[in-house]
Amino acid sequence: MALILGIESSCDETAAAVIDSDGTSLAARIVAQRIASQDEMHRPYGGVVPEIAARAHAEVIGPMVAQVLADAGLSLSDMDAIAATAGPGLIGGVMVGLVTGKALAMAADKPLIAVNHLEGHALSPRLADPTLAYPYLLLLVSGGHCQILEVRALGDYRRLATTIDDALGEAFDKTAKILGLGYPGGPAVERLAREGDPKAVPLPRPLVGSGEPHFSFAGLKSAVMRAKQAGTFADADIAASFQQAALDCVIDRTRIALGVCGPVTALVVAGGVAANAALRGALEQLAASVGLPLVAPPPKLCTDNAAMIGWAGAERFALGYTDGLDVAARPRWPLDANAAPVRGAGVKG
């Protein structure tokens, strides 16, 4: 059996976990995990401030690793490897976690595994559901990323779609800001949307009907802003109409992707926005309509965590992939380096 220490610090959660790769259930696989959210520190600014994030990670990560090992009743010398997020993300934060991982690996003479944060999200459904087999179609929707990928095997990803402007979580966060719901906005928009009428506000569905499954949410966000400024709609109706429009886009785009991907075992959703119950419900229906199961990790595994990093590390370790202590932190690190750039797209991978 392999015991892996996972470390995550690429955005605004500091997290550490101990993973047992031989566990046959989610509960058995996550031996211990801890997460410290920085939400309170960033709230006054309405978004993540990179310098504050990096400093907070540095203060918390050392004691947290010690705590999580104590929770597990294990010591560093019991670990088979140390897996740390090496990107993509806010570079100051990534460096804190990666340097911590390197120091622990060096001190305990254990192999280091540099994990792509997106691979952590992409494989998190396999951590949650031991029966999920490659290849699967993955909708990866978080605050920084919005992609559809064919996950063929560990390290073999084909990107079928990406966003040409905002990520889906970003659209939720900006809508929350427009409605004065605070940060982070996704869960607040979802809560308010339950009290509103999803048909009350006419909003655009960018790119719906286009032949390639890419995403665009900038026009939807601007329309939400105009609806708020008009002063004639209730906030709950704006939230519900926004969520409906965004989900209509996601379902249409995912349907197109299902039509162009190779044979897959399941439709899978991961990333922070996969915690959204309305999205999960809509995807459930879409998957059933094409005879596939929907696999969605429990909401706590959808938002950033170290268990998914430890798990991706465990899958890599099982195949003998380890990294040198000179491995660099990467602000950008696409899962599919061969994906063609999308016309009109910004720099997001």
- Window 206 to 245, contacts with ligand KG4 (CB under 6 A): none
Q: Write the CB contacts of 263 (distance below 8 Å, at least 6 apart in sequence).
A: 135
> 72 or 224, CB closer to ligand KG4?
224
CA-based nearest residue to 158, from 84, 257, 74: 257
**Residue 20 interaction partner, one of Zn ion, ligand KG4, none, beta carbon < 5-8 Å per kind:** none
**Residue 196 interaction partner, one of ligand KG4, Zn ion, none, beta carbon < 5-8 Å per kind:** none
Question: What angle (nearest 5°) sits at the alpha carbon of residue 269, between those of residues 267 and 270?
Answer: 150
- Window 129 to 148, contacts with ligand KG4 (CB under 6 A): 142-144
* Calpha distance 63→250 (Å, rounded): 40
* Calpha distance 34→37 (Å, rounded): 10
**Residue 97 interaction partner, one of ligand KG4, Zn ion, none, beta carbon < 5-8 Å per kind:** none
* Calpha distance 64→13 (Å, rounded): 12
**Residue 306 interaction partner, one of ligand KG4, Zn ion, none, beta carbon < 5-8 Å per kind:** none
Bond preceding residue 184 cis, omega within 30 of 0 = yes
Bridge partners (DSSP) listed for residue 6? 17, 83
Alpha carbon 30 to its chain's center: 18
The residue within the footprint of Zn ion, chosen from 38, 142, 175, 216 (CB under 5 A), is 142
Interaction between residue 147 and Zn ion (CB under 5 A) = no
Q: Write the CB contacts of 284 (distance below 8 Å, at least 6 apart in sequence).
A: 294
**Residue 273 interaction partner, one of Zn ion, ligand KG4, none, beta carbon < 5-8 Å per kind:** ligand KG4
Cβ 33 to Zn ion shortest distance, Å: 15
Interaction between residue 304 and Zn ion (CB under 5 A) = yes
The torsion region of residue 344 among left (phi > 0), alpha (psi -120 to 50) and beta comes to left
Which alpha helices (H) appear in 44-185, and where do they start and end? 50-72, 91-108, 117-128, 168-178
Contact characters 148-187, ligand KG4, x per CB under 6 A: ---------------------x--xx----------xxxx
Interaction between residue 190 and Zn ion (CB under 5 A) = no
Q: Looking at 62-70, 93-101, 135-143, 168-176, which segment touches Zn ion (CB under 5 A)?
A: 135-143
> 36 or 76, CB closer to ligand KG4?
36
Measured N-to-C along each axis, helices 186-193 and 168-178 cross at an angle, to the nearest 10 degrees, of 70
Contact characters 239-278, ligand KG4, x per CB under 6 A: --------------------------------xxx-xx--
The site for ligand KG4 (CB under 6 A) is made up of: 11, 142-144, 169, 172-173, 184-187, 190, 271-273, 275-276, 303-304
Which residue ranges make up the site for Zn ion (CB under 5 A)? 142, 304
